[in-house]
Homo-oligomer: A and B are copies of this chain.
Amino acid sequence: MKSPQNSPSALLELIDALKCLPGVGPRSAQRMAYHLLQRDQTGARRLAFSLNLALDTLVRCSLCNNYSEHEVCSLCRDDERDRSKLCVVEMPADLLMMEQARCHQGLYYVLQGRLSPLDGIGPKDIALEQLLKRAQDGVVEEVILATNYTAEGEATAYYIAEMLKRQQIGVTRIARGLPVGGELEHVDSGTLAQAVYERKPV
């Protein structure tokens, strides 16, 4: 798989750049580069454009910490949502799953991560300070913890619950209707909805 000196540098550079994608090693990167050059130059040009566009226009919503093209995202601006309920999820994909399950009419807070001491991710590495401030806006009455039921997701929920309860903020946890070790992303809507309906105080 080593590329000799005489490969054009723009090709070697592209192969190397593709390796920044998760799950893409040297061999996949090479296959992707040749595929794009030979069979999908339009797709390649579009990918370059989309990468730059996303980097240039996406910011974190100041209310929910999700990706947004505006300072406050459209979901947080939606007047029909129940602003007294704030659902905390780990990742944007989890928010999408919650929306598909149609079991939560409130707003969200996206941690963009989870506590993971083994990976060196502590309370200061995810946006917990910002969540504490967000939950104290005087409108939020219940924070619903919808982190995964993995060891890390549970530790994160526990930490947040302790943090919020010290400030007399009501906290609930979605029910363990999810399979143990399960992740929101991989669960069906019905199971997820059930877990929300059966949430209990912590």
Known: A10-B57, A112-B38. A22 touches B32 (CB 8 A): yes
Q: Determine the chain B residues whose CB is within 8 A of the CB of A32 once the complex forms.
A: 21-22
Contact B41 A92 (CB under 8 A): no
**Bound: A3/B185 CA distance, A:** 13
Closest to A18 in B: B47
The A interface is mostly helix, strand or loop, or mixed, namely: helix
Interface stretch (choices A68-76, A149-157, A166-174): A68-76
Q: Is A43 an interface residue (CB 8 A)?
A: yes
Q: Is A137 an interface residue (CB 8 A)?
A: no
Copies of this protein in the assembly total 2
Q: Determine the chain B residues whose CB is within 8 A of the CB of A100 once the complex forms.
A: 2, 4
Q: Determine the chain B residues whose CB is within 8 A of the CB of A40 once the complex forms.
A: 20
Q: Is A118 an interface residue (CB 8 A)?
A: no
Closest to A40 in B: B20
Contact B34 A21 (CB under 8 A): no
Contact B4 A96 (CB under 8 A): yes
Contact B91 A13 (CB under 8 A): no
Q: Binary interface profile of A, 30-60, with partner B (CB < 8 Å = 1, else 0)?
A: 1111111110110111111111111101100
A6 to chain B, nearest CB (A): 5
Q: Is A187 an interface residue (CB 8 A)?
A: no
Contact B53 A13 (CB under 8 A): yes
Contact A37 B58 (CB under 8 A): yes
A76 to chain B, nearest CB (A): 9
Q: Determine the chain B residues whose CB is within 8 A of the CB of A99 once the complex forms.
A: 4
